[in-house]
Amino acid sequence: MKLKFRHVALIGKYQASGSGAAVNSSRAALEDIAQYLVSQGCDVALEHDTAHNTGITAYPALDVAAIGARCDLALVVGGDGTMLGIGRQLAKFDVPLIGINQGRLGFITDIPFDSFQTRLAPMLRGEYVEDHRKLMQARVMRGDTCVFDALAMNDVVVNRGGTAGMVELRVEVDGHFVANQRADGLIIASPTGSTAYALSAGGPLLHPSIPGWVMVPIAPHTLSNRPVVLSESVEIAIKIVAGRDMSANFDMQSLASLQIGDRIVVTRSKYQARFLHPVGWTYFDTLRQKLHWNEGVA
């Protein structure tokens, strides 16, 4: 059958470099997948840092902008962190992503490496389930000046550093005062991020089809301070009232140091990530497998 995706970019664990076991494993996996794609009639390229750090030179090396302009599919080989990093960058180019899991959990890199050939073959021909994930836009405002600006697919986290003591945060939603919260921090998570840090902090799971966010306090001083589900159309503002060594994290991959009086403003981004899954995939299959529900039940 005719290929739907002919120009395919491969992205690996490009943050790992050198000659260690992790890099060797990533290189071998990427080479296997690239050779398979070529055998199917695809033109293959490697993301620039992936090619540099793995030493693979048999295929063109492209930066993110070139991938967005020239490729019609990105294959991410690694874990969820790798997918988050490249997913944010490629969202503005509307390039669909397929995740092949070489990490630990694999909530969004959901194709096992040992079965990638049987899963990819029909997907390359256009047989797949498409899954859209909205991104968050976050800005750190110091007075009237934006001192940091980032996208997040999972979450925006405001928390204290390693020093003892809580932070105090003033929280507003669409300009309406919600509360002054004393806690170790606060998480604003998307449905994608509801299975990450927010889940560990006691937040609910949000199905990806829900156009909402969850606001989850981290170890709050007041036990009645509970997670709240909000519409993704709102603007959330978090003002630093008191605390030391505070920071804002965006998908735990970029960080901004905070000062008293800073405001972290979170809004819906105009961009979204496009994930492709094998036919028959459901979100509940992922939850059941990754969270080990019903283990031992016949």
Catalytic site residue from 49, 80, 110, 155: 80
Report residue 87 as tokens. Answer: 């997913």
Query: Cβ of 209: how many Cβ atoms within 10 Å?
Result: 9
Q: Give the closest residue to 279 by CA, choosing from 108, 123, 88, 114.
A: 123
H/E element holding 290?
helix 283-290
63 tagged catalytic: no
Residue 82 contacts residue 261 (beta carbons within 8 Å): no
Using left for φ > 0, alpha for ψ between -120 and 50, and beta otherwise, residue 279 falls in: beta
Beta bridge partners of 87: none
Q: Map tokens 């991020």 to a residue.
A: 193
φ and ψ of 28, to 5 deg: -60, -40
Q: What CA–CA distance (Å, rounded) separates 11 from 76?
A: 5
Report residue 18 as tokens. Answer: 């050198």
> Angle CA(124)–CA(127)–CA(131) in degrees, nearest 5?
100
Q: What CA–CA distance (Å, rounded) separates 124 from 33?
A: 13
User: How would you class 177 by CB atoms within 10 Å of its CB: exposed for 0-12, middle for 13-18, buried for 19 or more?
Assistant: exposed
Which residues form the catalytic set?
A: 80
